[in-house]
Amino acid sequence: MEVMEGAPDPEIVVNDWGVLRRARARGLPVVLGRGLDRSVRDPRLPDVGPEHLGGDAPPPSWKQASHGASAFRALMKRFGIERIETDVPLQGLASPPPGGPAMTAHVPWGMVASGRVCLVNAWGKPASLRFVAPKHCDAPCRRFTIELRAPWSRREGGAGALPMVDAGEILPLTAVLNRRRNKLPAEGADAAPRFWQKGNTHFYKLEGEALRRALDWVAQTERVDRVVVAPELPM
């Protein structure tokens, strides 16, 4: 923050309320990061229909986010925050109410979840130091990417094709063994949804129709005046 104080026209993107408090104490302009713009970014949602919800319709809140809520906007105004970053979920976003803060949209990678436990950071460590918040991190994830696939999901069949775990449907053992890790079918030859992990964070990727829909949303949403395009998985 000391460096930022001397920088011309600085912006600090915060994903932690404590950092926000410190930045404000120094009078630095703050942008709320996408970690604090809460929304449902579960990459399984595009496959979910009423049949998975006992006949209930998916609720509108699945296409809403903090940035559209009046109370959250009032909080931002109270703290002098004029910009918020957001992810466009795979299931899409409704247009937020008029007014509110300026917005930055991230494409094509969206954050599913993050934490302090990191698979890659556990590399080469004894059991007592594996899968625990590290004291420091030398970012081994700069060198590795993990691709995740959920073999139980078959997106091309639509929502009805998703097996219901409660219904007791069990994948044949051979189907699992044939997809031994590190020998996944090539891209395009596998209908299972693909997600990515970089360090301790899971991401989805906006592609095809989802990307077009996201860009339409960006174009139609007056407050979005900035788009961050990350050609590679963000770190």
Partner 1 sequence: MHILSPVASPEEVEPLADGGADELFCGIFPTEWYERWGRGAWPNRRGPGPANVESVDELGAIADAAHARDRKVFVALNQQFHPDDQAEFLLELARRIQDRGAADAFIVTDPGFIALLKQELPDCSIFASTVSVALNSDSVKFLAELGCDRVILSRHLALSELAEIRAGAPEVELEVFLLNDNCYFEEGFCSTTHTMPGFGVYCMTPWELQITRDGADGAIVDPEERARWDFLVEEHREYLRHLAHRGHGDSRAKLPLGPCGLCAIPELIDLGIHSGKIVGREANLYRKIRSVQAVRHIRDTYLEGRDAKATKAAAGELRGDLRGCASGYSCYYREARDRDLIPFPTRARGPRRPPRKQR
By CB under 8 A, name the one of 92, 108, 149, 224 that touches partner 1.
149
159 binds partner 1, rule: CB under 8 A: no
Least distance (Å) between residue 8 CB and partner 1? 26
44 binds partner 1, rule: CB under 8 A: yes
CB 95 within 8 A of CB 216: no
By CB under 8 A, name the one of 28, 102, 137, 184 that touches partner 1.
184
Least distance (Å) between residue 229 CB and partner 1? 19
222 binds partner 1, rule: CB under 8 A: no
Token digits of residue 115: 């934490």
22 binds partner 1, rule: CB under 8 A: yes
What is the distance between the alpha carbons of residues 43 and 91, in angstroms, rounded to a whole number? Answer: 8
Q: Which is nearer to partner 1, 219 or 235 (CB)?
A: 235
123 binds partner 1, rule: CB under 8 A: yes
What is the distance between the alpha carbons of residues 103 and 100, in angstroms, rounded to a whole number? Answer: 9
Instruction: Output DSSP code: residue 122.
Output: G
Size of site (CB under 8 A) for partner 1: 80
Q: Which of 39, 30, 31, 91 is nearest to 67 (CA)?
A: 39
By CB neighbour count within 10 A (0-12 exposed, 13-18 middle, 19+ buried), where does 8 fall? exposed
- Alpha-carbon separation of residue 16 from 21, 37, 228 (angstroms): 9, 11, 20
181 binds partner 1, rule: CB under 8 A: yes
Least distance (Å) between residue 28 CB and partner 1? 14
By CB under 8 A, name the one of 3, 98, 167, 208 that touches partner 1.
167
| Residues 52-111 interacting with partner 1 (rule: CB under 8 A) | 52-54, 56-62, 64-66, 68-75, 78, 89, 97, 111
Q: Which residues lie across from 229 on neighbouring strands?
A: 107
- Alpha-carbon separation of residue 216 from 90, 102, 117, 210 (angstroms): 13, 17, 35, 10
Least distance (Å) between residue 222 CB and partner 1? 19
Backbone phi, psi, residue 77, to 5°: -65, -40
39 binds partner 1, rule: CB under 8 A: yes
| Listed ranges 5-13, 158-166, 207-215, 217-225: which one lies at the site for partner 1 (CB under 8 A) | 158-166
Q: Is 99 left (phi over 0), alpha (psi -120 to 50) or beta?
A: left
CB 106 within 8 A of CB 86: yes
Least distance (Å) between residue 53 CB and partner 1? 5
Least distance (Å) between residue 107 CB and partner 1? 16
